[in-house]
Structure formats: C-alpha cells, structure tokens
Amino acid sequence: MISYPSYKVAAAHVAPIFHDTDRSVLKACATISEAAAHGASLIVFPEGFIPGFPIWSGVVAPIRTHDHFKELAAAAIEIDGPELDRIRSAARKCGVFVSIGFTEATKASVGCLWNANVLIGEDGTILNHHRKLVPTFYEKLVWASGDGAGLRVVDTRLGRLGALICGENTNPLARYTLMAQGEQVHISTYPSVYPTRPLEEDGNYDLENAIRIRAGAHSFEAKVFNIVASAPYDRTARKAVERLGNEALALLEASPKAVSMIIDPTGVVISPTLSAEEGLAYADVDIARCVEPKRLHDVVGYYNRFDVFKLTVDRTSNHPVLFEDDKPPAFLTTPKASTVAPTVNGKTNGAQGHSDAVSGAPALVPEDSRVE
C-alpha cells in the first residue's frame, strides 16, 4: 500500500539585505528558524535572495551599472562556500528542507556569475544545485547561461521535489522535464519587480499576473503543489538604486510587484497571497491530492503520444576546461588497442563526463539522485 506524506510548507516572502551577503544569510537563518517553529517542513526563498536580485540592470543603460555589477560580484557566493554552509547548518539544526536562490560565483573567474538555486535536505545535504538555463532579457548582462545538470527531481520523505527559476517556468520543455521525473511538489522563484517599459509608456509587464498564470498552469498540467516565493521591494533595494537617479527609482516604484503564494494540484491558491509586506505564507501539502487529478489527464502517463513526441535532455555539467593530469607523456607508453577509448569526431568518448538523458517516455531518476 502506497503511503503519501502530508506536511506544512512555507513560502518566504522576505527581502534580503541588498548586496549585503552576511546580513542576508543571517536573515535567511532566522527565517528558517521562524518557519520551522510554526511547523513548516519545507521553506522556499525567492530568486537571487543572496545578495539580492539585480533590479538595477533593467532601469538604466548597462554602461551606468558597472559599480553595481562589481558589488554583486563581490557579494556572490560559491556552492561550497561558508555562506551556504551556515544555511545548511540552520536546515540541519531545525530538521527542515530549504530552497534558496543566490548569485553564484566561481573560482575560475571573478566576473562570471550564475543565477542559481539550491535545495538543501533536513540533514544539511545539498540535494540539488540548479543554474538558470537562460537569463531573461536584461539579466543576460549580469548572469551567464546555466546547464541541464540541475534539471532533477529529488525523491525525499516529503515527496518528489523539483524547482525552476522565474522565466524557466515559461519554458514548457524544462517544465516537462521535471514532470517526467514524477515531480509532486514544484518550487518556483521570482524577483520583487521587473520593469519592461519607460514610465511614459503603457504596457509594463504585469509581474503578479504573469506569476499567477505560470504557477497555475504548471500546477494544473503537472498535478503538483507549487510553492511560489518572491521578494518584496524593500528600502535596502531602494537605497541601492537611488544613486542611479530619480527616473530609475521612479520606474521601480511604479512597476507591478511580485507575489508569493502556494497552489494545489488543480491550480487553486491555498495560502495567503503576499506582495507589499514581508511575511511567510503557509499551506498544508497532502501528496495524495496529486492522484485523483491524474485521472483527467496525466501528460507523462497515458495522456500523451510517446510514439509521436520525443524529448532528450542533456544533463552534462559545463566546465571551462577539462584537465587530464598524472599521465605519462604519450611517447613513454604504447597502449594496447583494447585499452584505447573510442573517439567521436576526434574526441575521446566520455571526455565530457557522464551525460544523463530524459526520454519522452515516463522515467524516474535513480533513487540516489543527490548532487553533492
């Protein structure tokens, strides 16, 4: 007999201390403690929470934001750095799962940054590390493109958890990739504000409406719970933009703001909807409620045509260089024919590392899907 878990989740509608990594980490740890004290088993933070979403990149010309970019790069964190260790420790201490967005740095470069998200287990283990596949619009001037390595659904005691960042929730192939791995709880994260037009023009992007459409669509199509976490636009973000001028500030103030909420497998909002003020939106998740809607249409089961549609996903991690160390020079060895690896287009087969593929047919990732 299959037993389905039931528990409480929290969407953390909280703002970081803009461009201040240490204080943002402290705030994240305090929020984790608060949500855990209220019975939440999973806490979800917004996109780019550490050290704040680069809202400045969309309100003035890029030649005016070099200082902001340098500040962001200096405040960015690495996946194995002490900042995430502190958040992992908080998750372990409270015995909860945590999803948090951050700007990721790398030792390979002082200027290459990614829009990343990490899922942390109740024991502090990193369960999945995802980099946004394609930065959206003016984000391309800040973040690099990610890869498919993080397109994974993790099997936990809370069910099968997956996550996408902001505009990725508009990508039907990315969403289907998670659906096809048996996703039951989806995490979607967003910034506080997203201006797309000057003040004097109509038709600015309605961020709240866009979030509701995307989140509801994925919940309804995948038959999953969807935890939506965005950040409110607060005074620390406002202060960071002030030096770009009154017009930039006015544009951000006038633009539609984001929302946080939790949606059930039928597309219905089941939590408070938070926008202007900080807070935690709670809701109860019962994975058993994902079952009945599948009778209507299960797009990764019977309600599809896998003989017609095929999807292949490359989950290879990208690296700037691959080294082969500790090998004697070729002239000192004469390898036997049986030991020579096959080549493809002149390259050693497998040199890029293991590559997973998700086919168009329903398939679940291995039970041990953790990414250390």
107 belongs to the catalytic site: no
The number of beta carbons lying within 10 Å of the beta carbon of residue 37 is 9
347 belongs to the catalytic site: no
Given 71, 104, 139, 166, the catalytic residue: 166
Given 27, 47, 139, 257, the catalytic residue: 47
Buried b (16+ CB within 10 A) or exposed e, 184-198: bbbbbbbbbbbbeee
CA 274 from chain center: how many Å? 20
Which residues have CB under 8 Å from 37's CB, separation 6+? Answer: none
DSSP codes of every residue in 203-250:
----HHHHHHHHHHHHHHHHT-EEEEE-----HHHHHHHHTT-HHHHH
CA triple 127-133-136, angle to 5 deg: 130
The CA distance from 79 to 50, in Å, is: 12
The position carrying tokens 């409406």 is 209
Contact status, residue 97 vs residue 179, Cβ threshold 8 Å: no
Q: Identify the three-state secondary structure at position 35.
A: helix
- Residue 293: phi, psi to the nearest 5? -60, -25
- Residue 62: phi, psi to the nearest 5? -60, -25
Q: Identify the three-state secondary structure at position 95.
A: coil
Given 27, 132, 223, 257, the catalytic residue: 132
47 belongs to the catalytic site: yes
Contact status, residue 127 vs residue 159, Cβ threshold 8 Å: no
Query: Which ranges of the chain does DSSP label H, i.e. alpha helix?
Result: 21-37, 66-75, 82-94, 172-179, 207-222, 235-242, 246-254
The number of beta carbons lying within 10 Å of the beta carbon of residue 285 is 26
Show which residues are catalytic. 47, 132, 166
